[in-house]
Amino acid sequence: MNWEALALTLRLSLFTAAALLVLGLPLAYWIAFSQRRWKFVLQAATSLPLVMPPTVLGFYLLVAFGSSSPLGRLWTAWTGHTLAFTFAGLVVGSILYSLPFAVQPLVNSFLAIDPKLIDASRVLGASRLATFFRVILPLSASGAATAVALSFAHTFGEFGVVLMVGGDIPGVTRTVSIGVFDLVEAGNYAAANTTSLVLLGVSFAILVMVYGWNRGAWPRAPWA
């Protein structure tokens, strides 16, 4: 078992899930509550990673990170190196790749909140921001937990994007799934099997947690 790869993957999943919670909350809020007619376009864009092959996303990321794109040049000028082949680059890729897994549960739980509660908060003098933190967020705890768990699990099993932009550097970008790929390519089936089982086990455990949570199998607040 490659512990270095496992630790790296856990770190990547954790960073990505945390970043997605921070990014996903305002995005989901906008999707859930905006009155804009064209908001479905953003909704569709957010869901793209669900249907797009990760290799396509990885390919465009690689181009965007590279010296031929203004974005890539800017980053390189600022930090001295390209985002590709770095942990930060993987986090960026994973955020995009797992975006719908964070945003969808949040949007759903926002929409499940009785709008009268939001009205009540506003009438009682709370600003939109205060209403978000004092009413919407506490009532969406279950959705937020689902968002974090799903984006964590999705990143944990991510392969295509990492393969495209990672460069397979041990301890930096060689995640468990890439490790499995390498082992199979090298014909080392026994080691590939061990590593795959660990990946499977962790993913399954997370999903059991999420489904159990959604079915109310564990105690939680009476309003959730």
Partner 1 sequence: MRSSQVLPENGPPRRARRALLSAAVLLLAWSAGGRSRAGYWGAGTAPLQAFFPTPGAGAARQATAKGAPAGELTISAAADLQFALRAVAEGFERKSGARVRLVLGSSGNLTEQIEHGAPYDLFFSADVEHPERLEREGLIVADSLFVYAEGHLVVFVPKGSPLDFGKQGLAALAEASVRKIAIANPRFAPYGRAAVEALEHAGLYPKLEPRLVLGEDVSQTTQFVVSGNAQAALTAESLMFAPGAQDRGRYWVVPPADYRPLAQAAAIVARSGKQPLARAFLAYLEAPAGQAVLARYGFARPEARR
Partner 2 sequence: MAAGAVGMSGSGGEDGSVLDVFVRKRFSATAGSPAATQETRFALDVRFALPAGVTILFGSSGAGKTTTLGAIAGLVAPDEGRIRLNDRVLYDSKAGIDVDVSRRSVGYVFQELALFPHLSVERNIGYGLRRLAKPERQRRTGEILESFRIGALRRRLAAELSGGERQRVALARALVTRPALLLLDEPLAALDAPIKGRLIDDLRAWNRARAIPILYVTHSREEVLALGERVLVLEAGRLLADGLPQEVLGAPRSETVAQLAGFENIFDAQVVALHEDSGTMTCRLVPPEPAAGRGVDLEAPLARLDSGAAVRVGIRAGDILLATEEPRGLSARNVLRGAVAGIEERDCQVLARVDCGITFSVLLTPGARRALGLVPGLPVWLIVKTHSCHLLRPAER
Contact set with partner 1 (CB under 8 A): 49-51, 53-55, 59, 62-63, 65-69, 72, 80-82, 84-85, 100-101, 104-105, 108-109, 111-116, 119, 142-143, 146, 150, 154, 157, 159-160, 163-165, 167-169, 181-182, 184-187, 207, 210-211, 214-216, 223-224
Binder of residue 123, out of partner 1, partner 2, none (CB less than 5 to 8 A by kind) = partner 2
Q: Work out how close the CB of 89 gets to partner 2 at its nearest, in angstroms, rounded to a whole number.
A: 39
Binder of residue 65, out of partner 1, partner 2, none (CB less than 5 to 8 A by kind) = partner 1
- Are the beta carbons of 194 and 179 closer than 8 angstroms? no
Instruction: By CB under 8 A, tell whether 41 contacts partner 2.
Output: no
Distance (Å, rounded) from C-alpha 114 to C-alpha 3?
Answer: 46
Binder of residue 121, out of partner 2, partner 1, none (CB less than 5 to 8 A by kind) = partner 2
Residue with tokens 């590593």: 195
Binding site for partner 2 (CB under 8 A): 35, 37, 114, 116-117, 119-127, 130, 134-135, 138-139, 221-223
